[in-house]
Amino acid sequence: MLYIGIDLGTSAVKLLLMAADGKIENIVSKEYPLFFPHPGWSEQNPEDWWTAVVEGLKELTVSCDKSQVAGISFGGQMHGLVILDEKDEVIRPAILWNDGRTTKETDYLNQVIGKDKLSKYTANIAFTGFTAPKVLWVKENEPDNFARIKKIMLPKDYIAYKLSGTFCTDVSDASGMLLFDVEHKCWSEEMMEICGVTGEQLAGIYESADVVGTLKAEVAKELALPETVKVIAGAGDNAAAAVGTGTVGDGMCNISLGTSGTIFISSNQFGVDKNNALHAFAHADGYYHLMGCMLSAASCNKWWMDDIVGERDYAKEQSAITKLGENNVYFLPYLMGERSPLNDPYARGTFIGLTMDTTRADMTQAVLEGVAFAIRDSFEVARSLGINIERSKICGGGAKSPLWRKIIANVLNIKIDRIESEEGPGYGGAMLASVGCGEYATVEEAAATLVKIVDTIEPEPEIAAKYEEKYRKFAKIYPTVKELFRQI
C-alpha cells in the first residue's frame, strides 16, 4: 500500500508518497505567499494552503496506482491560529507561529495570570508564538471577528478538516496552544475561561496515529482517489519530524534545522522543566517530549546568503570556511525574536566582534555557529535536568550542509546521526499514516523498521574544546545587550 505525508510548512507544503517498506515514491512541493502586514506580524491565508495541497496531491499521485493509496497524515507548522465562522469560512488570515504581535497578551498571561498557574494548567508558560495569546489578541483588537468564531484550529488541522470533514487535532500540536492540559491530554477548563472560548469551539483530540475519518466524497472525486483513503490525525511539525527520524521511545534526541530550529528529546514520562525554559509537550508516539525551539535557524543562513550576500550557492560559500573554533566573529540568531530558552520577542540578530580583517567567510561562519550556539542554550537546560544526551539525529534543510552538521557535533560535543531520509515531517506524516492504517502496530515499530542511519559525525576533541571556550563567550552576549534590544 501507499501512504501520503503532508508537511505543511511556512513557505511551502511538501507532499511525500511512501511505500509500505519506507521507500519514497514521489515528492512534490508547492509554495504559497507569506504576508507581513506590520513589523513583527506574520500571516498566511489558509485557502492558499488548501489550494496548494489539492494541486500537490494531484501531482503527487499522477503516476501511481491510486487504488493503493491507503492513508494520508500530516506534519504541520505549529501554533498558528485559524478561525472559522458558522459557515466554515475563514474569518481572517491565519496568525502564524513566528508572529510577534502578542507581547501584551503574553505578558498578561505570564505576569497577571502567572507562570505557575499556566504551568499547572498546561505544563508550559506563554510565548508570543503560542495560540492562546493570539486568541486574546483577536478578542481585544478584532472583537467582531472574535464574536464570529465557531471553530478554532491549527494549520494542519484545517487541511484535515477540508479532507475529511472531521474537526480534529492531535495531542502533540494541541500541546503548543496553551489551551491544552498536556499531562492529562485534554483541554484546560481554566485556560478556556481565561481566553473566553468554549469546548465546542475547540477540536476533538486524537493521538497522532489515530484515524479521524476518510476522504469526503467530493474531495475523493476531485483528487481521483478512493473514498476509503483514511485521514490520520498527524502531528505538529517537530513531533512528526521526530517520528521521521526515529526519535521515539525514551531518551532519544533530534535536532531540526528548518526555518525554525529545535532540539527535541523524547521521554516515556511526563516532566516539566522548573523554569519552563523548554516546552513540555505530548509526543506523536503516545508519550511525551521536551523541546527547545529557536525562531530563526536555517532561515538565518537563507537571509544572510540570499538577501545580504546575494549568493544562492550555499555550498560554494561554505567551502571557504576551514578553521572551526577559531572565529572571533559572533552572531546572535534572533531575527524574529527568540523563544527557547530566552522567551524574548524583543531580541534581535546581532553581529559582534567585527574588525578590519573580518572576511565574508568569517561572517558566514558566525551565522552557522550562532545557530549552533543557540541550540546549545536549550541543550544546556536539558543537561541541568540530568538528561545525558550522547547523540542526536538531525533533519531539516540546514542539515544537508556537511559543514553545519560538523559545527553542531562539535559545539554540542555529541555524535550527530544523519538518516537515509532527510524529509523530516513529511516522512513522519507518511509513517503515522502507515500506523493508522495498520501497516505497523506502533509508531516505535514503524520507526525501528523504516528509519536507517547512513552517517555519523563524531566530535573532534580539539575542535570541541575550542567551541567550548567560544560558547562561554557567546553565552555572555545576550545578557549584556538584552536591555538595549528593548530600547531599539
Q: Catalytic site residues?
A: 237
Break the chain down into helix, strand, coil percent, rounded to 5: 40, 25, 35
Tell me the C-alpha to C-alpha distance, in Å, between residue 47 and each of 53, 94, 155, 402, 413: 10, 10, 11, 37, 44
Q: How far apart are CA 225 and CA 215, in angstroms?
A: 8
Hey, what's the cell of 98? Answer: 513566528
DSSP characters over 323-357: -TT----EEE--BTBB-TTT-BTT---EEE---TT
Question: Residues 350, 334: contact at Cβ < 8 Å?
Answer: yes
For residue 401, give the amino acid letter.
S
Is 79 marked as a binding-site residue? yes
Q: How far apart are CA 427 and CA 281, in angstroms?
A: 21
Q: How far apart are CA 457 and CA 418, in angstroms?
A: 8
Is 336 marked as a binding-site residue? no
DSSP characters over 166-205: --EEEHHHHGGGTSEETTTTEE-HHHHHHHT--GGGBPEE
Helices 461-487 & 402-412 angle (0-180, nearest 10): 90
Sequence-distant (≥ 6) Cβ neighbours of residue 283 within 8 angstroms: 172, 239, 242, 248, 266, 267, 289
Read off the DSSP letter of residue 306.
Answer: I
Question: Residues 69, 4: contact at Cβ < 8 Å?
Answer: yes
Q: How far apart are CA 362 and CA 211, in angstroms?
A: 50
The Cβ-side half-sphere exposure at 89, using a 13 Å CA radius, reads 4
Q: How far apart are CA 298 and CA 305, in angstroms?
A: 11
Hey, what's the cell of 451? Answer: 528509519
Strand partners for 30: 13
DSSP characters over 124-176: S---TTSHHHHHHHHHHH-HHHHHT-SEEE-HHHHHHHHHH---EEEHHHHGG
DSSP characters over 206-240: E-TT-EEEE--HHHHHHHT--TT-EEE--EEHHHH
Q: Is the peptide bond before 143 cis (omega within 30 degrees of 0)?
A: no
- Three-state SS at 57: helix
State the binding site for substrate: 78-79
State the binding site: 78-79
